Amino acid sequence: MLDDAGQETPERLRRRASRLLSHVTMQSDRLVTDGLAKVDARRWHYAVLASLEEFGPGSQATLSRRTGIYRSDMVGVLNELAERHLVERAPDPGDRRRNVITITAQGRRQLGRLDKVLDDLHEELLAPLLPAEREQLMDLLTRLADHHRGN
Between the CA of residue 34 and those of 31, 83, 89, 116, 128, what are the distances in Å? 5, 22, 29, 15, 20
Whether 2 and 9 have beta carbons less than 8 Å apart is answered as yes
Buried b / exposed e along 29-41 (16+ C-beta atoms within 10 A): eeebeebbeeeeb
β-pair partners for 145 = none
* Secondary structure (3-state) at 27: helix
pLDDT recorded at residue 11: 87
- What is the per-residue pLDDT across 93-143, written as a single tens digit (0 to 9) for each? 888 888 899 999 999 999 999 999 999 999 999 999 999 999 999 999 999
Range of the domain at 97: 11-149
Q: What's the pLDDT at 92?
A: 84
**Residues 75-100: what's their mean pLDDT?**
92
CATH, residue 106? 1.10.10.10
Question: Would 4 be classed as within a structural domain?
Answer: no
More confident residue, 110 or 2: 110
Structure confidence at residue 6 (pLDDT):
57
30, 36 contact by CB (below 8 A): no
What is the count of structural domains for the chain?
1
Classify residue 2: in a domain, yes or no.
Answer: no
At residue 1, does pLDDT exceed 60?
no
- Considering the entire predicted model, what is its pTM? 0.85
Q: Is residue 128 included in any domain, yes or no?
A: yes
> Rounded distance, CA 28 to CA 109, Å?
25
